[in-house]
Structure 1
C-alpha cells in the first residue's frame, strides 16, 4: 500500500504521467507531501482513479485534487463520501473549482439531492457523471432520478454511460419544473434553496415562478388538459412505440389519484376492464414524428398524477 504523499514523491520522476491508478489502497485522505508540491509531482496528469478506498472528506479531497493542474477525469467510486457540501466562495474562504469533464462517484452513500446540486459549484464544466441513482429515489416519482440529475446539472452530456440528448434534457427539465410546482406550501426562498435552478429553468421555458394559492376560486381554474393514445406493447423506455391514431382528450385535476384517473379513462375510452397503472406511460413526440415513452406512471394508485409528471398538455400512452 502507498499513501498519497508517498505516491507524489515517487511520481515526480515520471513528469509525463497522464493516468494514475490508486484504487484499493486504503487511502483515507489525500494529504499533500511536505517534501514536494503536487504541481511538481503531477504536472501532466489528466486521469486519476481512486476507486475502492476510504475517502470521505469531500472538501479536503477536492482541495488536494485542485492542485493537479491538468486533471480532467476523476474516479472516486466505492469510497465513503456521504455529503457533498456546496463550494464556499467568500472573501474569508474561497474553495477551488476544478476543470473536470468526467466524474465517477457511484457506490458512495450519497442520498441527498442537495449533494447533486453542489456538484455544479465544484465542477462548472462537468460533462459526464457516473452516480448511483437508487439512493436518490426516495420521495420522487419512480424512474425520475435520471431526469432530476439531468435537470439539476445544466452541462451534463452523458449520465452513467448513456448520452443525454437534447430532447431528453428538455423533457427532464420540464418534468422537474412541474415537480417543483406541485408543492405550493413552500415559500419562494425555500423553493429556490431546495432547487437552485428553479428560476433559471422558469425563465428558459417561460414558466411563472409565482407560488400557487392554496385556495382557488373554483375547480375549473386548476384543471389541465391531457391527451391519451393507445400504444402497442411491450414498451421499452426511450424506444419508439406504435401509436393508434385515435386520441382521447380529458380535462382533469392534477391532484386526481392514479386510481381515479384510471376509472375516468375507462369510462371515456369505453374500456372493458379497469386500467392498470403499469399500463400508463408519459410519452414524447420527436421531431422525426416518432413517439417514445419517457417514463412509466407511478404504480401507487393512491398517489396523485403529479407524482407521475402529468401536467397541462401531457401525452399519455395506454398499453394495449
Structure 2
C-alpha cells in the first residue's frame, strides 16, 4: 500500500470493516503493525493487550487484533467513484450489436442486442436519480466541492451504510450538496470523532426527515447533538447500539419535530429512565423498544413524564411478566392505539396466556391494534365483558370478606368498565355477563397434521380443545393454536375446516373473525404443519 492509514481511520480488510486504533511496533516482533477494532467483534482476538502490554482499547470487548499493512487494507473511495461504479455501466464502443446472454437461461440462450450504448447513456444520467444506495461501497471521502451537486442534485434518499468515513464532517460535506435530501441511512458506520463543526452541520441537513443510525454504537447524547442540526427530522433509528442507558438531560434541540424513535435490539432495562429520556420529545408518537431487557413497568411518578401523544409502542421480546405492567402502560400512554407485546413471558407462558388478548384489550381503553391485528368494536366489548366476568369469579364479589380496595388496586380498570357496561357491584349484572360470555365462547377441536394440506385422516387421536370468542380473528386464533400445540416459530401452518360433507376448506383470510369463517362449537379444524 502507498501509505499507512491514520489512527482513527476506517479500513476494509478482506471484506471485514474496522477502525485503526494503533500504528507501530509490537514488542517481540519486527516491523509495523496495525491495531484494529473490528466492527464485528467475533473477528477480534483481544482488547488491544498483547503479552501484558496495552496498545489500544476497544469499545466492544475482545473486538481487536493486529494485522500487517498490505494492499488488502482498503481505505475506501470517494462518493462519486462509488456512485459511478454502481450506477453507470461502462460503454462498450461503437459497435451497433452486442451479444447478450439471457440471465434466466443459465448461459444457454445468447441473443444479439442493438444500440445498448444508447441505453447505457440514458441510464448514465445520474441527475435523474432519486434514491441512491451505496451500502457496502466503502465510501470514505467527499469529492471536490460542487461536483456532487452537479452530478446528482435530485437525490432524496441516500444509503451510506457500512461505509469507511469516521467523522460527521464528511457526511455533512456530502449532504450539503444534496439540497433535497430527506432520508439518510448511516447504519453500521463508526464515528470515531464527535467534534462537530457547527457552521458546516447547520447548513447540511435542512431537508432531512429520516435518519438511520442502527449498529453505529452512537450514544443517546451523541444522537441528540447530531440531530440538533436537523430541524425537520421526524424519525430516528438507534437499533442495536448496545445502549443500556439513554440519559436524562433535556435534548440539545430548539425545534424538535421527532415523532418516531426506534431503539430495537439494545440493552435498555429500567422503564422509568427510558421514559424520562423520551418525555423530552413532546411530539413523540411511535416508539420501538422490541428486544431490549425491560422486565417491569412502574406507574409514572408525576404527570410531566407521561407520553401524551404516544400512539404506538412495540415491547415485543422483552421480559414483562405482570399484568400490572399493562395497567401502568395505559397511564404512561393514555393515547396508545397500537401495541406489540408478543415474545414476553406475560403472553407466552403461565396459566392466563389463553386470555392474554382480551385482558390486554380491556386494560388499554384506546387500543385499536394489538400485535398487528385490528381490535374491532365487537371484540372490544366481548373482551371487556370477559375481563369483568373473570374478575367477578376471582374476587368472589358476593362472598363475605370481599375487599373492594384489593380489587381496585390490582385492576384499576374495573370501575370504569363496570360503569361502561352497566354492571353495579353486588347486583346480578355480573352473573348476567358471565352467562352471556359463557354462551358466546366456542369450543373448537384442533388436530395437528404434518403435511401442507389435508390427506387421508382416520380417527382423530386426542384432539386439542381450543376455546375462543367468535369475534376472534383467524390470525389471533392461529397464535392461540400455536401455543396450545407448542408449534415452533420456524414452522409454517395452514388451517382447514371440515365441512358437513366431509371435505376440507382452507381458512385463509387472517383478518376475518371465526364466526364469519363458519367456526362454531364442535367444529373440527386441521392444523397442517410444515417445517421451514
TM interval, short-chain normalised: 0.5 to 0.7
| Match of residue 54, structure 1, among 267, 270, 280 | 267
SS at match of 1:38: coil
In structure 1, the partner of 2:314 is: 104
Whether the aligned pair in 2 keeps the contact of 1:281 and 1:318 (CA below 8 Å) is no
Q: 2: distance between equivalents of 1:22 and 1:106?
A: 16
| Match of residue 335, structure 2, among 99, 103, 125 | 125
Whether the aligned pair in 1 keeps the contact of 2:324 and 2:410 (CA below 8 Å) is yes
Q: Is structure 2 residue 526 aligned with structure 1 residue 317?
A: no
Q: 1: distance between equivalents of 2:416 and 2:439?
A: 28
In structure 1, the partner of 2:378 is: 167
| Match of residue 357, structure 2, among 133, 143, 146 | 146
SS at match of 1:171: helix
| Structure 1 residues 174 and 232, CA gap change in structure 2 (3 angstroms) | closer
| Structure 1 residues 231 and 190, CA gap change in structure 2 (3 angstroms) | closer
TM, length-normalised to structure 2: 0.41
SS at match of 2:521: strand
Give how far 1:230 is off. Answer: 9.5
Unaligned runs of 5+ in 1: 213-222, 236-275, 287-292, 300-315
Q: Deviations over 1:54-76 (max 9, x none)?
A: 11111121011110122111111
Give how far 1:39 is off. Answer: 5.9
Q: Deviations over 1:220-248 (max 9, x none)?
A: xxx9686599999779xxxxxxxxxxxxx
Q: 1: distance between equivalents of 2:368 and 2:435?
A: 32
In structure 2, the partner of 1:303 is: none
Please provide the CA RMSD for this pair. Answer: 3.8
In structure 2, the partner of 1:290 is: none
Give how far 1:134 is off. Answer: 5.2
Q: 2: distance between equivalents of 1:173 and 1:57?
A: 30
Whether the aligned pair in 1 keeps the contact of 2:443 and 2:466 (CA below 8 Å) is no
Residues 199-208 or 75-84, more deviating: 199-208
Whether the aligned pair in 1 keeps the contact of 2:445 and 2:522 (CA below 8 Å) is no
| Structure 1 residues 317 and 133, CA gap change in structure 2 (3 angstroms) | farther
Give how far 1:82 is off. Answer: 0.8
- Count the aligned residue pairs: 246
Whether the aligned pair in 2 keeps the contact of 1:184 and 1:211 (CA below 8 Å) is no
In structure 1, the partner of 2:278 is: 65
Q: Deviations over 1:137-167 (max 9, x none)?
A: 4554452111110010000000111100001
Q: Is structure 2 residue 398 aligned with structure 1 residue 182?
A: no
Give how far 1:283 is off. Answer: 4.8
Q: Is structure 2 residue 426 aligned with structure 1 residue 210?
A: yes
- Aligned residue runs from structure 1 range 1-320, under 5 A: 1-32=217-248, 37-38=250-251, 40=253, 43-89=256-302, 94-98=303-307, 99-132=309-342, 135-137=345-347, 138-184=349-395, 187-210=403-426, 278-279=464-465, 281-284=467-470, 317-319=521-523
Give how far 1:8 is off. Answer: 0.8
Q: Deviations over 1:77-109 (max 9, x none)?
A: 1111111001123xxxx5421110110111110
Q: 2: distance between equivalents of 1:228 and 1:79?
A: 38
Whether the aligned pair in 2 keeps the contact of 1:279 and 1:319 (CA below 8 Å) is no
SS at match of 1:17: coil
Give how far 1:208 is off. Answer: 3.0
In structure 1, the partner of 2:175 is: none
Whether the aligned pair in 1 keeps the contact of 2:441 and 2:470 (CA below 8 Å) is no
Give how far 1:11 is off. Answer: 1.5
- Runs of 4 or more above 6 Å deviation: 228-235, 293-296
Unaligned runs of 5+ in 2: 1-216, 397-401, 429-433, 448-461, 485-519, 525-532
Q: Deviations over 1:99-142 (max 9, x none)?
A: 10110111110010000100111111011011126512455445
Residues 181-190 or 101-110, more deviating: 181-190
| Structure 1 residues 73 and 117, CA gap change in structure 2 (3 angstroms) | same
Q: 2: distance between equivalents of 1:174 and 1:202?
A: 9
Q: 2: distance between equivalents of 1:151 and 1:111?
A: 17
Q: Deviations over 1:276-296 (max 9, x none)?
A: 78446455489xxxxxx8989
TM, length-normalised to structure 1: 0.66
RCO greater where, 1 or 2, for CA within 8 Å and sep 6 or more? Answer: 1
SS at match of 2:313: strand
